[in-house]
Amino acid sequence: MVTGASSGIGLAYAHALAAHGADLILVARSEDKLNNLARELAQRHGIRAVALAADLTEAGAAGGVLARAGALGLTPDILINNAGFATHGHFEKLPLERQLDEIALNCRAVVELSHAALPAMLSKGEGAIINVASTAALQPLPYMAIYGATKAFVLSFSEALWQEYRVRGVRVLAVCPGATDTAFFDVVGAAEAGVGTRMAAETVVEVSLRALDRGRSHVVPGGANRMLGWLPRLLPRQTILQIVANMLRPRQPAGKSV
């Protein structure tokens, strides 16, 4: 099961897993995109691909997706919690409802899907959960405060589950990509942010699947991203906050989101 499968990193996961012969449950809001993707992957790779459109910001939607999959006789052996979005701008100017939806999708949906999928994995004695966090999890993000906080939650949550379940056959991995070559920054209204070179989504997926095979609790794709991840341990936190603020300070009207 791949959430946020219609674009970006989620789309790259769908293609990579289908190429390895995995049947897929594709989840996103866009039903048309999902149906087209499911047909394409099924025809190209000879797999079963099912599209389940859902808005995971809604309470109970995550559990409902797994129930719908179960009614089709599908139980995910691998769950990839990729769906998420960010808001960018001055915290007080961004709509509160939008920021609460951000928390719901980036955190609550991850918890609900993981909680619903784990029992079947544990009964088989095998399974995997990949949660897409971000290098945003490694330090606070002024002007993207909610996004950074939600990704810190995802990282902490994932590593805790890694320790709980690795002796019971279920692997859990947090993926912390840096800037990735998707529409993320363009749509969020932070295209001008000084985020450096953007990694291909396919590379993020390849690195994460390799880390999963190695039993890692988390992975930060890219040497430069790993080096940046160490900076908060080396420099005063106030210095890190100033650096990040300079990178992300809005240069467009505040309030855009993706």
The 3-class SS string of the chain reads CEECCCCHHHHHHHHHHHHCCCCEEEEECCHHHHHHHHHHHHHHHCCCEEEEECCCCCCCHHHHHHHHHHHCCCCCCEEEECCCCCECCCHHHCCHHHHHHHHHHHHHHHHHHHHHHHHHHHHHCCEEEEEECCHHHHCCCCCCHHHHHHHHHHHHHHHHHHHHHHHHCEEEEEECCCCECCCHHHHHCCCCCCCCCCECHHHHHHHHHHHHHCCCCEECCCHHHHHHHHHHHHCCHHHHHHHHHHHHCCCCCCCCEC
Q: What is the C-alpha to C-alpha distance for residues 32 and 51, in angstroms, rounded to an integer? A: 9
Quick one: average pLDDT of 121-127?
98
Is the pLDDT assigned to residue 185 strictly greater than 70?
no
Is the pLDDT assigned to residue 125 strictly greater than 90?
yes
Token pair for 84: 């998420």
Q: What domains does the chain contain, in order, with CATH numbers? A: 2-248 (3.40.50.720)
**pLDDT reported for residue 222:** 81
| Residues recognised as catalytic | 147
Strand 49-53 vs strand 2-3: parallel, antiparallel, or unpaired?
unpaired
**pLDDT reported for residue 180:** 79
CB 14 within 8 A of CB 44: no
Q: What is the C-alpha to C-alpha distance for residues 221 and 219, in angstroms, rounded to an integer? A: 6
pTM: 0.90
Task: Tell which residue, 113, 18, 15, 24, has the closest CA to residue 60.
Answer: 113
Quick one: average pLDDT of 152-156?
98
**pLDDT reported for residue 195:** 56
Is the pLDDT assigned to residue 168 strictly greater than 70?
yes
**pLDDT reported for residue 170:** 98
CB 103 within 8 A of CB 111: no
Is the pLDDT assigned to residue 218 strictly greater than 70?
yes
Instruction: Determine phi and psi for 53, rounding to 5 degrees.
Output: -75, 135
Q: What is the C-alpha to C-alpha distance for residues 142 and 87, in angstroms, rounded to an integer? A: 11
pLDDT, tens digit, for every residue of 69-96?
A: 999 999 999 999 999 999 999 999 999 9
Quick one: average pLDDT of 153-181?
95
Task: Tell which residue, 151, 129, 92, 147, has the closest CA to residue 216.
Answer: 129
